[in-house]
Amino acid sequence: MRNYEERAKDFIKQIFPYLEECDNEHEEREWAVLAFNYDYNRKVIYSHGMTRYALITSDYVVKVDYAQTRWGDSEDEMKVYEEAVADGFDYLFAKISRYEYMGKKFYIMPRIYGIGRKFDDADEYLTTEECDWVWDHVCDLHNQNYGWKNGHVVIFDYAARR
């Protein structure tokens, strides 16, 4: 059985022609995703933030950076994840991986559900050591940047502290 990363790579190859003609405008990308959904009978959600946009499917998310900004990018998330792995805190984060296709970088993560709880509530589920590590390494942590998996907090949008 193929894992979510393999399925995401195939998805990127399918949706790329729809996105490559977009002039970095949210509305154009939104229409491109709608056209893709219609052509492939899919239910991909387009979402965007300050530094990147995301293509959300039922089991994975593909992030694409606009450009390097002072707010950080997906490469910063890769570094945070690598540090979390080295320090034994990777279970707190959705794994991120890079995939390059047609000269563009795409970042793949598993989809996390249970988004929207307040982080004050999440603190009760983290040890002091986990809280300290997260607060030392991650900024812009709010209730739309983490969810829950198997009853534990999982952060999926983790801009690095600089």
Lateral strand order in the sheet of 52-56: 45-48, 52-56, 60-65, 104-110, 97-101
Question: Which tops the pLDDT comparison, 88 or 131?
Answer: 88
User: Are the CB atoms for 147 and 86 separated by under 8 Å?
Assistant: no
Question: Which tops the pLDDT comparison, 120 or 28?
Answer: 28
CA distances from 9 to 16, 60, 94, 120 (A): 10, 11, 17, 36
CA distance linking residue 70 with residue 154, whole number of Å? 25
* pLDDT tens, position by position, 41-96: 999 999 998 888 999 999 999 999 987 665 568 888 999 999 999 999 999 999 99
CA distance linking residue 24 with residue 108, whole number of Å? 20
Q: Would you kindly state where each structural domain of the chain is located, as residue ranges?
A: 4-160
Q: Based on the number of CB atoms within 10 Å of its own CB, is 107 exposed (0-12), middle (13-18) or buried (19 or more)?
A: buried
The reply to whether the predicted model has a pTM over 0.85 is yes
* pLDDT tens, position by position, 111-122: 998 877 665 556
Q: For strands 60-65 and 52-56, give the pairing.
A: antiparallel
Instruction: Extract the runs of DSSP E, i.e. beta strands, from 66-130.
Output: 97-101, 104-110
